[in-house]
Structure 1
Amino acid sequence: MIEIANGSAHVEGVPLAEIAARHGTPCYVYSRAALENAFNAYREALADRPARICYAVKANSNLSILKLFASLSAGFDIVSGGELARVIAAGGDPGKVVFSGVGKTRAEMQEALAAGIYCFNVESASELEHLNAVAGAAGERAPIALRVNPDVDPKTHPYISTGLKSAKFGVAFDTAIDLYRRARALPHLEIRGIACHIGSQLIDPQPAADAAGKVVELVDLLTAEGIVFSHIDLGGGMGIRYRDEPVLSVADYLSPMLGRLADRKELLLLEPGRSLVGNAGLLLTRVEILKHGAEKNFAVVDAAMNDLARPALYDAYHEIVKVGGSETAHRQRYEIVGPVCESGDFLGHDRELALAEGDLLAILSAGAYGMAMSSNYNTRPRAAEVMVAGTEMRLIRRRETIAELLANELPLL
């Protein structure tokens, strides 16, 4: 999404230096073309079978991004009532929404029922009972799928591994049949499908294919008992290239999974998030201070762990490139750090760059879990967000102000 030529860096047809001059830093920058291309790669890979692409809102919930995906006929995977409100505000169809998450409140269940969502992905026996009671009080039948854990190792970071027996998510595979029997007996539930999601940043397609195989076996067992499904939801999780990961095309990644679904008539739901938005966005930041020490050199930038939490949270790697500024500095190795008062406030370790104070840097692959996970730690206003389409840039979230951060706090009595 970023091109560097003749000393200038662009996103599509807009120079990053121009974005920084107009909207300041830190600033998230997204490419509309990259978002559309990523979505269309899924659509093309699924063209030969009934399928719905449900964007995982938690990856990046900006209303303009949701509106773009809604215009492409996407469904949405949500994990909170707030995300449902965002989908509706962006013009998304609630009838294409699946509601996942282990701790749905009764109020969220009521809101989702009233909105007419497509399906609740139920993640515990208790949730079945709660949802049945809420639907009964509303005079409704709640559409449900059970999210089952196939106990397949996704070979990813433990914090984003979700389908093992030890995970808080979903229901144990060997209890699923009894729970479906219970759901069939509850008067205010309508069994609509089955769901599975084993984790995120998956590079090897085999674990997802193995999970799909186990889910299909379970579907066949339940069908033999007269429990029939209209859809199979196999989640998301396809990884992206942050550094040198051997990432496959969408079609090649999905091929082993789709092979387990050959000749099946159920609607296939997929819930991609990172693979749609991750490499469509970057975080633009400016070097404030260069600090040269006996053991390490530090480049202190105006972005921080509150703007991009992934390096501090997961020790995640993001490529960092210089996109504007001095041409005379010599290359040195730097720790790229922010001004937050934490030793864990880093954005990159040991990066070889030719830097001077005032230079612009782009932190790449930041479209997923960047702005969505940002915070106001150290009373730092959250960054601006900009969408680029061709030669046009549009502010899609203005930078917060200190006054806005203080506005909701009450004076001491």
Structure 2
Amino acid sequence: MDHFLYRDGALFAEDVSVAEIAAAVGTPFYVYSTATLLRHFQLFDDALAGTDHLVCYAMKAASNQAILRTLAQAGAGMDVVSEGEYRRARAAGVPGEKIVFSGVGKTAREIRAALTDGIRQFNVESEPEMDVINAVALDLGVVAPITIRVNPDVDAKTHAKIATGKSENKFGIPISRASEVYARAAALPGLEVIGIDVHIGSQLTELEPFRLAYEKVAELTEQLRSEGHNIRRLDLGGGLGIPYTRSNDAPPLPVEYGQLIKDSLGHLGCEIEIEPGRLIAGNAGLLISDVIYVKSGEGRDFLIVDAAMNDLIRPAMYEAHHDIVAVKEPAPGTEMQPYDIVGPVCESGDTFAKQRNMPRLKSGDLIAFRSAGAYGAVMSSEYNTRPLIPEVLVNGDQFAVIRPRPTFDEIINRDTIPEWL
């Protein structure tokens, strides 16, 4: 469910007309719904009710500080994968003790920054990383809390580019070596081993891969405890998918996911952390674009819009589907026709949809890309010297620009020309 609905023939974001926002800020732009963000966070929090838990929002999905503060005020922790994300979370008011630091390539500088300003734990991905965290912690005179990410060799049955739990993926240590690696970690004086971390992929649409992974984590927990480790926290990652289409083939609900966690791991008495990102932010955002031209081609018509692959790269990168709708609601019985919906970048990959049925549109009409709140703005670029587009947050009948569109002068003046030129 989201809070983007038609009213009196016009698409609204909560209680604000999308066309009104477009008139104020120009197109293209991203718009997010506060009510949807909070509802989706609450679904996860409620799903784990009765357990000691923390829902850490995976902020790589959408990292604007206004979104982070909205979720933090509701009780969310944060999952970060870089110093930049860590600093964003702290700037948004998230305390260090509610920030989990993940990622395979943490540098000594990033580790030092987090240990200096406060961190809940590092999710360690390799033995060399473990050595660096130990060295930095000893240099600072502190002890670093860690979990170790195990790779359970479970097929997440998702897109190959977002699967992370198979043996050939770059993430974590093989679960078969866990006993050896945990023993080594326990011997390092700058580390405190507090738990286990696992994450098998993103956009999962079945619970079975989670169940297989969590059964292995349960067995490992009992084994490590028998070897003297105080395993008291299980970080289960994220990955639950969202419905990118309006079909009935919807992914499992957070309450079903939560029950699976309780059934698989509840007997261990561990604190549970989960790191949802896409399901919290994905359907909480739209990309709004304007039709520049309607072009008739050889056997097909094109909608050339002012958004491009630099603004929303998911279709080009993942062949991802986004439902696309007219901002002006079509009247009942309106005849639909197929369009290829494309952007202005000079690459054939700048295509959002092929032969997508839409009402007959014309230059100046607005369209909305649904489910664009996750991995939209955060993956955008200034390719073709196209400015990053504004982000807008709606709260009831209010809206605010939470990232403005830069001017061309601001973009161009970031370049520095050497004096010999």
TM range (shorter): over 0.9
Corresponding residue for residue 407 of structure 2: 401
1:295 deviation in Å?
2.6
Residues matched between the structures, number: 413
Corresponding residue for residue 93 of structure 1: 95
Deviation string for 1:141-185 (max 9, x for gaps)? Answer: 111110101111111001000011000111111111111000001
Corresponding residue for residue 262 of structure 2: 258
- Which letter maps to 2:115? L
Corresponding residue for residue 340 of structure 1: 345
Corresponding residue for residue 287 of structure 1: 291
**Among 156, 159, 165, which residue is 1:157 paired with?**
159
Q: Distance in 2 between matches of 1:348 and 1:172?
A: 39
Corresponding residue for residue 181 of structure 1: 183
1:389 aligns with 2:398: no
Q: Distance in 2 between matches of 1:56 and 1:269?
A: 11
Native 8 Å contact 1:325 1:360 kept in 2: no
Native 8 Å contact 1:331 1:355 kept in 2: no
Corresponding residue for residue 376 of structure 1: 382
1:325 deviation in Å?
9.0
**Among 316, 331, 336, which residue is 2:320 paired with?**
316
Native 8 Å contact 1:321 1:363 kept in 2: yes
- Which letter maps to 1:320? I
1:5 deviation in Å?
3.4
Q: Distance in 1 between matches of 2:362 and 2:261?
A: 49
Q: Distance in 1 between matches of 2:225 and 2:329?
A: 64
Deviation string for 1:5-46 (max 9, x for gaps)? Answer: 332111111111101001111110111000110011111111
**Among 77, 80, 100, which residue is 2:79 paired with?**
77
Structure 1's consecutive aligned runs of 4 or more residues displaced over 3 angstroms after TM superposition are none
Q: Distance in 1 between matches of 2:169 and 2:327?
A: 41
1:253 deviation in Å?
2.6
1:228 deviation in Å?
1.0
Q: State how 1:3-22 maps to structure 2 within 5 Å.
A: 3-22=5-24
Native 8 Å contact 1:99 1:120 kept in 2: yes
Q: Which is further off, 53-62 or 317-326?
A: 317-326
Structure 2 gap segments, 5+ residues each: none
Q: Distance in 1 between matches of 2:354 and 2:60?
A: 27
1:324 match: secondary structure: coil
- Which letter maps to 1:322? A
Corresponding residue for residue 107 of structure 2: 105
Q: Distance in 2 between matches of 1:330 and 1:216?
A: 55
Q: Distance in 2 between matches of 1:230 and 1:140?
A: 20
Q: Give the TM-score taking structure 1 as reference length.
A: 0.97
1:326 deviation in Å?
9.5
Q: Distance in 1 between matches of 2:49 and 2:384?
A: 48
Corresponding residue for residue 364 of structure 1: 370
Q: Distance in 2 between matches of 1:391 and 1:401?
A: 28
1:412 deviation in Å?
3.0
Q: Distance in 2 between matches of 1:54 and 1:404?
A: 35
**Among 192, 195, 206, which residue is 1:193 paired with?**
195
Q: Distance in 2 between matches of 1:325 and 1:153?
A: 41
Q: Distance in 2 between matches of 1:348 and 1:7?
A: 24
Q: Which is further off, 370-379 or 400-409?
A: 400-409
Q: Distance in 2 between matches of 1:246 and 1:197?
A: 21
Native 8 Å contact 2:13 2:33 kept in 1: yes
Deviation string for 1:48-89 (max 9, x for gaps)? Answer: 110000000100000000001110111110000000000000
2:231 match: secondary structure: coil
Provide closer, same or farther for how the CA distance between residues 325 and 291 of structure 1 changes in structure 2, counting only shifts above 3 A: farther
Native 8 Å contact 2:102 2:122 kept in 1: yes
1:289 match: secondary structure: strand
Q: Distance in 1 between matches of 2:329 and 2:270?
A: 55
Q: Distance in 2 between matches of 1:325 and 1:399?
A: 28
Q: Distance in 2 between matches of 1:177 and 1:342?
A: 50
Cα RMSD of the aligned pairs, angstroms, is 1.5
Corresponding residue for residue 116 of structure 2: 114
Q: Distance in 1 between matches of 2:364 and 2:238?
A: 40
Native 8 Å contact 1:325 1:358 kept in 2: no
1:257 deviation in Å?
2.7
- Which letter maps to 1:82? G
Q: State how 1:118-157 maps to structure 2 within 5 Å.
A: 118-157=120-159
Q: State how 1:190-339 maps to structure 2 within 5 Å.
A: 190-243=192-245, 244=247, 245-324=249-328, 331-339=336-344
Native 8 Å contact 2:11 2:329 kept in 1: no
Corresponding residue for residue 65 of structure 1: 67
1:283 match: secondary structure: strand
1:91 deviation in Å?
0.3
1:394 deviation in Å?
1.2
Native 8 Å contact 1:326 1:359 kept in 2: no
Corresponding residue for residue 168 of structure 2: 166
Q: Distance in 2 between matches of 1:313 and 1:79?
A: 21
Structure 1 gap segments, 5+ residues each: none
- Which letter maps to 2:415? E
1:254 deviation in Å?
2.6
Q: Distance in 1 between matches of 2:392 and 2:413?
A: 25
